[in-house]
Amino acid sequence: MSGEGSTVGGGGSSIDGETARRRSTDRSPIGWLLDAKLVVVALSSLAVIVAAGLVQVSFGAYSMTVGQAWRAVLDPAVLLDPRWLLNFVVGEGLMRAVTGFQGELPQLTHETLIVWNIRLPRVLVGVLVGANLAVSGAIFQAVTRNELASPFILGVSSGAGLTILLTLVVFGSLSAFLPLIAALGGSIAFLIVYAIAWKNGTSPVRLVLAGVIVGTVFSSLQTALFFFADDIGVVQSAIAWTTGSLTGTDWEQVRLALPWSFVAVTLSIAGARQLNLLLLGEGTAKALGMSIERVRFALSGVAVLAAAASIAVAGIVGFVGLIVPHMVRNLVGTDYKRLIVGCLFVGPALMVAADVGARLGMSVIAGTDAQIPVGIVTGLVGGPYFLYLMRKQQHMGEI
Amino acid sequence: MSTDGLERAWSDGTDGASDSNGTSGSAAANPTDDPASDLDGEGLVLGYPTAEEPVVDGESIAVEAGAVTALVGPNGSGKSTLLKGLANQLTPEDGSVLLDGRDVHSMDTKALARKLGLLSQESTSPNGIAVEDLVYHGRYPHRGFFERTTEADARAVDRAIELAGCDHLRDREVGSLSGGQKQLAWIAMVLAQDTDVLLLDEPTTFLDLHHQMEVMEIIETLRDESEVTVVVVLHDIEQAARLADRVVALKDGEIRARGPPEEVVTEDLLADVFRVDAEVVATERGPRVTPIRARHEE
């Protein structure tokens, strides 16, 4: 027998003939995390995030050198002062409640204030949005067994888009709740899609078709609503929301998305084995005792939660959820435990890097201060990447 | 091929309740001495939602416990449908399937999957999954939602891989294997499921002779060394006759004959069910069938 225990650590990549030995079943609790490829993916993604993040905190209306920016990010006056840290992360009210501190917070330098108040939260929101979208897309690709599935395949984006337009155009007084309304609209559309697809159970194909149907109807309604917008500001705001933008994001958005992101990511890692089993096909999964409808609905729910969390803070950012799982799958393989972990790094890297283009691109190209929605950049990057994949890979579609 | 692990460990004996506390190895020696499991289909009416007429219309089948039962019949005779019905993959329009007296349809899906394993005819696997990973999926019904693999899982997987004779394939990617090797990997997966009842849908079809024999030998080993009840759909009637303790012949969704191979596999049956003129000679390896010509009259 050769099954002596388990080779601990994915470093066990001895080459066996033509097939690289890759055993995702390293049964030690964290052994699978040490897979060489996954580590490389994580580290290079981190490098991208740090580099793009530094660019983001250095440049802008108040420019500073990278050294200054770096010192501001690592300013001990913030990092070593739990009051300031809490003040940023959870907000002043909660900080005072937690620490019982009533006085005036110590002075910070100008650079530190700009970086921590304005620029850093935007990077963090980008990280959260990227991770959420990537994980959401990865889950939907397993649930629908289709590599071309995105977080928005089951009507989420069109539902969110419609409610965004409704809020901005018709119920203007509710626009303070826009993030929540958008997330809610996406979730409701998902439920409608599920109800339409249900007929003694669902199937991946029926789900996707129902998603297309609901998407078509909702998008038409959404477009129709544009005609009723009489203010160019409303239209621009609507476009920013429906293409996805990180402009003006703040610690408030971090606070809004963080808890849900945490829940969604935890659940998706816990559900990795279910996702792997779904890839074996419905028949096999059922024969192995999976209650397939329940698992499929629950996993879709997790994916919608992740998508909704990102919609609430950034609107509908396209392509990230579609291409990141793809890239990661090409890099670390189909095993969902690794795939999800990989998505947690690559998604933020893509999002933060794209946001550099969205925030600073126009000033480089046209010399203006205008920012474009980050969704435009992800689309510009994502389209060609997909083209490249299409030319390179013979079979695309089914996982 | 060593068989030490086979004995009663093949049956894990417990059901539903072990889910919550099964951490410490449900497949670990749990030598409950309950006999092999009974599987009974009673008055089964089975069909597909897309078709109006049921494929199997009111048939009963009592699978002999601890034996190998072969379902044979021409294409479209309903043998795979019957098997899917027995495996609870198809919900019967009427009738019921009882596993040790319990209706499989009302059983918890995981509890059922710990008692009854099914190898489907068409199995797809994602790219890049290693054989060992695939086999570990067979442990799914033995694990709770958040549970990690246990020693018992590792043992069951080793045993299954050994029994299926695919130890040398362990770290290969399933996608890179030949059809026959793939089948062995999938068989290892259902064996790792460690069930009392094993349903196999045409496990030898499309395989070369060597792998056909490999699969047959696995089934024989199961029968000889454990108490597993096996139902296998076979295309090749001679293979069925040689392998099975009981043969059930179907045509047009009806069971036309059932019994030991020597009684069922006859020239009359081949004419009636398979519409061929054939010569059947009894040999020490069971009846030998030599097909002569197809019958065209009706």
Q: What letters, b where the CB count within 10 A reaches 16 and e where it falls short, cover A279-295?
A: bbbbbbbbbbbbebeeb
What architecture does CATH give domain B39-122+195-294?
Answer: 3-Layer(aba) Sandwich (3.40)
CB contact under 8 A, A335 and B129: yes
Lowest mean pLDDT among A28-42, A55-69, A257-271, B190-204: A28-42
Partner B, chain A 327-356, Cβ-Cβ below 8 Å:
333-335
Q: pLDDT tens digits for A299-337?
A: 999 999 999 989 989 989 989 999 999 899 989 988 899
Q: What are the residue ranges spanned by the domains of chain B?
A: 39-122+195-294
Among B15, B119, B129, the strongest candidate for a mutation testing the A interface, having the largest count of A CBs within 10 A, is B129
Inform me whether the C-beta atom of residue A2 falls under 8 Å from chain B C-beta atoms: yes
Residues B286-295 have a mean pLDDT of 88
At residue A282, the pLDDT reads 87
Q: Give the H/E segment covering residue A138.
A: helix A120-143
Q: B49 — phi, psi (to 5°)?
A: -55, -30
Q: Which of A131-140, A236-245, B123-132 has the highest mean pLDDT?
A: A131-140
Quote the mean pLDDT of chain A.
Answer: 85
Q: pTM of the entire structure? A: 0.85
Residues of chain A with Cβ-Cβ distance to B154 below 8 Å are: 3, 5-6, 27
At residue A258, the pLDDT reads 92
- Give the percent of chain A with pLDDT over 70: 90
Residues B120-130 have a mean pLDDT of 80
Q: pLDDT tens digits for B13-58?
A: 444 444 444 344 444 344 444 567 889 999 899 988 888 888 998 8
Q: What are the residue ranges spanned by the domains of chain A?
A: 5-65+123-392
Q: Examine the pLDDT at A298 and tell me if it is beyond 90.
A: yes
> A5-65+123-392 adopts what CATH topology?
ABC transporter involved in vitamin B12 uptake, BtuC (1.10.3470)
Distance CA A4, CA A27 (A): 12
Q: Examine the pLDDT at A246 and tell me if it is beyond 60.
A: yes
ipTM of predicted assembly, 2 dp:
0.81
Q: pLDDT tens digits for A124-153?
A: 999 999 999 999 999 999 998 888 888 888
Q: Examine the pLDDT at A158 and tell me if it is beyond 60.
A: yes
Q: pLDDT tens digits for A249-291?
A: 889 899 988 999 999 999 999 999 999 999 888 889 999 999 9
Residues A339-364 have a mean pLDDT of 93
Partner B, chain A 370-399, Cβ-Cβ below 8 Å:
399
Q: B202 — phi, psi (to 5°)?
A: 45, 60
In this structure, chain B runs to a length of: 298
Residues B106-112 have a mean pLDDT of 91
Among A288, A330, A336, the strongest candidate for a mutation testing the B interface, having the largest count of B CBs within 10 A, is A288
The token pair that represents A6 in the structure block: 């388990």
For tokens 């040790």, name the residue.
Answer: B100
pLDDT grade, residue B4 (50/70/90)? very low
- Give the percent of chain A with pLDDT over 90: 37
Q: Give the H/E segment covering residue B189.
A: helix B179-192
At residue A395, the pLDDT reads 67
Lowest mean pLDDT among A126-135, B110-119, B150-159, B289-298: B289-298
